Amino acid sequence: MQHTDDKPILTADGEFQAQDEEVDLSQTQFEAWLALGLFWLLGATVFYQFFTRYVLNDSAAWTEEIARYLLIGVVFVGAAMGVVKNHHIQVDFFYRFMPRAMSRLCSTLVDGLRILFLGGAVVLTAMMMQRLGSNSRMTLVDLPMNIVYGVCLFGFAIMTWRAIEVARIHWQRGFSALERPESSMSDR
């Protein structure tokens, strides 16, 4: 067996030998680090819930509510990673059969609609937060629900910003992943 760089994967003794690629985290966006932090807080909260329920036999009631809100934070902040990598759900079947100009127009329209949708979600979330005010509180923990909605607002805002960046990249290079599915955001 040969590896792609012509180094044997198996030695003469039949032992597996491989070199891992060096990990480069320099291109990781701040929202990815924030989502990772929220995920670890979620994991610690769930572990604490498990520990108090099954080891101490005295469940901490607040952990379920906080875990739910942390999960919401992970989803909304983490979704920005999907936007920046352009990994949203897409159907590129019809783009293969469209004339080039029409597929370019449609993919630009998709970029614009995504920006409008996410920007609209920012506005609607801000309006909802304003309407709730500080009167709406969490069920078990005496904190305002606007903390949770603020995280959602932040997630939508960063998704909108990243969608604008992605649309700009698509415009500069003259195609998107819809037109050329084999491309990626790193192909600039």
On whether residue 24 sits in a domain, the answer given is: no
What is the Rg, in whole angstroms, of the alpha carbon atoms belonging to the chain? 23
pLDDT, position 185: 62
On whether residue 49 sits in a domain, the answer given is: yes
Scanning the structure block, which residue is given the tokens 């979600």? 121
pTM: 0.80
On whether residue 131 sits in a domain, the answer given is: yes
On whether residue 9 sits in a domain, the answer given is: no
pLDDT tens digits, one per residue of 24-73:
787 788 899 999 999 999 999 999 999 999 998 888 889 999 999 999 99
Taking a C-beta distance cutoff of 8 angstroms, is the pair 155, 80 a contact?
Answer: yes
On whether residue 60 sits in a domain, the answer given is: yes
Q: If you average pLDDT over residues 126-151, what whole number do you get?
A: 90
pLDDT, position 5: 55
Measured CA distances, 182 to 175, 179, 186 (Å) = 11, 9, 11
Domain that residue 45 falls in:
30-173
On whether residue 4 sits in a domain, the answer given is: no
Burial class (CB in 10 A: 0-12, 13-18, 19+), 36: middle
Tell me how many domains the chain contains: 1
pLDDT, position 8: 66
On whether residue 66 sits in a domain, the answer given is: yes
On whether residue 1 sits in a domain, the answer given is: no
pLDDT, position 37: 95
